[in-house]
Amino acid sequence: MEFPTDLKYTNNDEWVRVEGDIATVGITDYAQDQLSDLVFVEVTAEVGEKLERDATVAEVESVKAAAFIYMPVAGTIIETNVELYDEPEIINADPYGAAWMFKFEIANPVELDELLDATAYEKYCQEREH
Instruction: Report the length, in residues, of the chain.
Output: 130
User: So where are the chain's domains?
Assistant: 8-108+115-121
Give the global pTM: 0.95
Query: 127 in helix, strand or coil?
Result: helix
Sheet holding 38-43, edge to edge: 38-43, 56-62, 66-70
| Residue-wise pLDDT tens digits, 23-74 | 999 999 999 999 999 999 999 999 999 999 999 999 999 998 999 999 999 9
User: Over 80: is that where the pLDDT of 124 sits?
Assistant: yes
Choose among 25, 18, 19: nearest CA to 41: 25
Three-class secondary structure of residue 56 per DSSP: strand
8-108+115-121: CATH class: mainly beta
The pLDDT mean for the chain works out to: 96
